[in-house]
Structure 1
Amino acid sequence: MRVTLGTSPSAPGGENEDFAAAAPGAAVLLDGAGVADAETGCVHGVAWFSGTLGALLLGTITARPAWPLAECLADAIRVTRSLHEDTCDVRHRASPTSTVVAVRVQGGRLDHLVLGDSSLLLAEQGGRLFPITDRRLDEVGARLRGRVDDLPTGSPEHAAALAEYRDTLTSLRNRPGGFWIAGPDPFAAEHALTGAVQLDSLTSVTLLSDGATRLVDRFGLASWDDTLALLDSAGPDELIHQTRKAEDSDPHGRRWPRGKAHDDATALHWALL
């Protein structure tokens, strides 16, 4: 098992709300989400939530190999909730949440789970790639973000439109017709995308936060094949470096409209051969 991991906060010295970790035969990646500068009801913050949930999830999927990954996630959500429900308002509509990607080797297969807009990239022998991304948030967001994309990123007008957009998104999370993400309710785990593939059919497994997939799905500067080639040759840090260069070339989001000029970016690349 050879794992390389790269991560970078959206701003130098800033708090990184992504979390990624690996254990023998397992790996997790989470991208914490909150409403910027808004009340969440949690005294700990988004980074605490994603880090705590991620550590508990990795421990559960390795300690409970017979449990399905969705059950492991539901259990980790329950335990995380128990750790702060006495000090925080876990029923707050903007309580911290997180995307989740998890993989585990079990009986000659690789089980996988994706919830929220982070991605899993499976590379098969023969060169075929299978990206798995939960697009439900993107589909909801596409209906709502018109004004956000029409305004320069970082402008006061953009900030106001973004706040309104995020507030509307918050009202649609973890409900039918909206999107699903890990938060205080274990029920969300039942809506994760799950599956399994034969381990010996794969050459690598890559877990990516949406900040690390921008070259492909936001900027259109690279394909998934390009991304895998870069990871194999130079590693996750170079992928993030190339992403930062693209972001810096368009600081106001005129070429590539987006909510944040820079985003936390994390990639965990697991080479199997």
Structure 2
Amino acid sequence: MKVLLGSQPAGPSRENEDFAAAVPGAAVLLDGAGVAGAETGCTHGIAWFSATLGGLLLSAITTQSARPLSECLADSIRAVRSLHGDTCDLAHRASPTSTVVAVRASAGVLEYLVLGDSTLLLADLDGKATAVTDQRLDEVGKRLRAPVDALSTGSPEHVAALAEYRDALTRLRNQPDGFWIAGPDPLAAEHAFTGTAPVESLTSVTLLSDGATRLVDLFELATWHDTLADVGSVGPDGLIRRVREAEAGDPDGRRWPRGKAQDDATVLHWVLS
């Protein structure tokens, strides 16, 4: 099993809230989200949540190979809840959450699960790159983001508008008319996108947090095929470096309005053949 992994926090003094790991036959990637610091209601923090959930999920999908990925995710969410339910306010509106991408190869079949706005990139034998992405968060965001996108990223006005936007977004989290993401409620796992593909039809699978997909889905400077080619030629770290170069050219978000000038970025590339 050949796996290439690169991950970089949003800034040198920032904690990386992404988590990615692989074992023979399986891999996971999670992108933690929430309101920084004590406002989450969790004494452990967002990075702890994504890493703990990711580790438990990876263990579950490898040791319980007969259970569907969505059930493994629900079990893992329950397990994390039990670890800090007595010390943290899990009913807090900004309790830590995380996107989830999980893949498992067994008996010639690749199973996958995607929840939230991280991306799974499947490369077939013909070189075609197929992206599996949960667009529900983006669709909700587009309805609410106009006041944020009209302002310079990082300005006081932008910070205030972004806080209002996040409040509105939080009210739609894990709601039928909103979007779904892993948090305190195991029910979210039932709303993940799942599917399968024959392992023999694929050359690689690539898991990416949304901080690593900006060249495609935010900046529109590349295609998914370009992304796959970049990972193959310069590796995950090289792809992230290209994202950082684009971000550095637009620090105020004038060309590409966005909530964060830079975001945690993680790429896990699993070569199948």
| Partner deviation per Cα, 1:40-64 (whole Å, 9 max, x = no partner) | 1100000000000000000000000
Q: Distance in 1 between matches of 2:20 and 2:163?
A: 28
Instruction: Tell me, yes or no, if the aligned pair for 2:37 and 2:45 is still in contact at 8 Å.
Output: no
Residue 45 of structure 1 corresponds to: 45
What's the CA shift for 1:14?
Answer: 1.4
Structure 2: give runs of 5+ residues left out of the alignment: none
Percent of pairs identical after alignment?
71
Q: Distance in 1 between matches of 2:91 and 2:198?
A: 40
Determine if the alignment matches structure 1 residue 13 to structure 2 residue 13: yes
| Partner deviation per Cα, 1:58-78 (whole Å, 9 max, x = no partner) | 000000000000000000000
Residue 120 of structure 2 corresponds to: 120
2:68 maps to amino acid: P
Residue 80 of structure 2 corresponds to: 80
**Paired positions, count:** 273
Residue 30 of structure 1 corresponds to: 30
Residue 111 of structure 2 corresponds to: 111
What's the CA shift for 1:129?
Answer: 1.5
Q: Distance in 2 between matches of 1:98 and 1:37?
A: 16
1:130 maps to amino acid: T
Residue 165 of structure 2 corresponds to: 165
What's the CA shift for 1:107?
Answer: 1.5
What's the CA shift for 1:37?
Answer: 5.3
Residue 255 of structure 1 corresponds to: 255
The TM-score, its normalising length taken from structure 1, stands at: 0.99
Residue 219 of structure 2 corresponds to: 219
Q: Distance in 2 between matches of 1:245 and 1:37?
A: 28
Q: Distance in 2 between matches of 1:20 and 1:247?
A: 23
> SS of 1:194's equivalent?
strand
2:107 maps to amino acid: G
Residue 129 of structure 2 corresponds to: 129
Determine if the alignment matches structure 1 residue 236 to structure 2 residue 240: no
More moved, 256-265 vs 29-38: 29-38
Structure 1: give runs of 5+ residues left out of the alignment: none
Q: Distance in 2 between matches of 1:37 and 1:91?
A: 16
1:40 maps to amino acid: T
Let me know the Cα RMSD of the aligned residues: 0.8
Q: Distance in 2 between matches of 1:93 and 1:34?
A: 9
What's the CA shift for 1:18?
Answer: 0.1
Residue 70 of structure 1 corresponds to: 70
Q: Distance in 1 between matches of 2:223 and 2:266?
A: 18
